[in-house]
Structures are given as C-alpha cells and as structure tokens.
Amino acid sequence: MNDAMPPRWILGGAPRPAAPLLYCFPHGGGSAAEYLRWARDVRNAETRVVQLPGRGSRVDEPVLTSMDALVGAFLDAAPPPGREPFVFFGHSFGSLLAFEITRALRAAGRPGPAHLVVSGYPAPHLPRTPSRLHQLGDRELMETVAGLHGGIPEELMACDELVTLAARALRADYEVLETYVHRPQEPLSVPVTVLGGTDDRVTAEQLDAWREVTDAHVTVRRFPGGHFYLRDRPAPVLRVLAGVLGAVAAGERNVPC
C-alpha cells in the first residue's frame, strides 16, 4: 500500500507527506465524495478514500458482487509496499471490506494497516440473519434500506433516474454482504477501534464482539445517533480518528479514546 495507487481506486485529499495515510472505505452504495470531505478536518493525516467500481467517477465500470472479487481487485491494483504507516477506516459495509483487505494483506505477506477503525457493523464472525435484499427491484431496494438505516436523501428518492443509478451500486454491495462467508483465521495483530451509534440496529454486543478478531488492543465507543451517527455529528468521530492517527504517528499501539 502506498500513495501511488491508481487514481481510479483512490481519491486523495491535501498532500501531507509527513503524516500517516488514512484510507476510508465507504458504506454500502456510498461514494468517496462524502468521506473525502474529512480531509480538511483531519489535519494529522493524508486522507485517501476508496472509490469502488460502479459509482462516482467509476460509474461506467462493471460492479463487483463478491467479497473475493472486491478484495482481489483492490490488491491487484495496489502497488508494492511503500509509504507507511497507514490506517484503515470503514463504515458499515466498508468495515467488513477493510477487515477482509487487512487479512488479505497479511496472507500475501504485505504490510497492513497500523490500526483498523470500524464503524456501524457487527463483528464479521457473528451469525447473521439470511436476507436477499439484493434481489429486490430498484425502488423497493432503496426504500427498504432507507427504512432500515436511513441516510438516503428524499430528493434522490423523488427521481426515478437517480434511484436506478444509486440502486446499482447499493445492490452490488448488498450482494457482497448477503453472500459473504466468514472464514475463520488466526486473530489479527492490529489494534482495532470500534465505533457505533447508540440508536443503530447494530447492538453494543455486536460491536464488542470485534474484540475477538485481534489479539491487539481494542477500544469500543458509541455515540448518540443511528446508523449514520457520524454524518449527523461528525466532530466526535473525527476527534477519535485524530487520536488514532496521532498515536500511530508516535508509534503507539494502545490508543486511549
């Protein structure tokens, strides 16, 4: 991993060569643009946001619908190890993707993140209720996900063309989630910070279970709000990220949050 990754996969904030890199993995159906805004507020990192195929600047590319395909494509695009350290942050679907890429980097003998920050997603080894939301029609899919998690603007839902466009990426990500099979492995040796909303469907117990994926230090924090608590009140989340990045820059493994 380094800052020379092909631009179609990564959108970058302001260059900060002396700071750690912060890679952000968006939520299901999400685009890089929302998380790229963090670049101006997280000043002790150089922010890089992952742009998956089929959305944003890559809207004309085929979507990927399995975790293996996504992880494989990402690692194929990543150049040989270069600049370090770096931190992974993922929200919801992005948490699972960041976790699996971290494991894949380890399996390939390549440097991984110095810290993993996950948000709004149950620990990946927990049993899940089977669902087939990715098989719904465009509008039904969007309405169902909006009912479960919120976060979809009314203006988007009022436009059939935008619904069709947004549903394509969201359906692909839900197919990844709904066909995902967790493969037990040795725990990571990466510190993990786990974030969530107090009113989210993801419970405190599901967040706390992330402690089992690593033998390093784990911190769990919950903030007021639902699934998109970090959109409603970004400042506390950005402070946590700044603390993680500051500790990484200082070479610390335990992050007091």
b/e per residue, 60-72, with b = 16+ CB within 10 A? eeebbbebeebbe
Is 27 annotated in the active site? no
Catalytic residue of the set 27, 91, 149, 227? 227
**CA atoms of 58 and 35, how far apart (whole Å):** 16
Is 227 annotated in the active site? yes
Is 92 annotated in the active site? yes
**CA atoms of 1 and 4, how far apart (whole Å):** 8
Query: Exposed (0-12), middle (13-18) or buried (19+): which is 45, by Cβ within 10 Å?
Result: buried
Catalytic residue of the set 27, 134, 149, 200? 200
Q: Do 47 and 245 touch, CB atoms closer than 8 A?
A: no
Catalytic residue of the set 31, 92, 95, 119? 92
**CA atoms of 211 and 244, how far apart (whole Å):** 17
What are the structure tokens assigned to 99, written together? 């976790």
**CA atoms of 201 and 206, how far apart (whole Å):** 10
Catalytic residues: 92, 200, 227
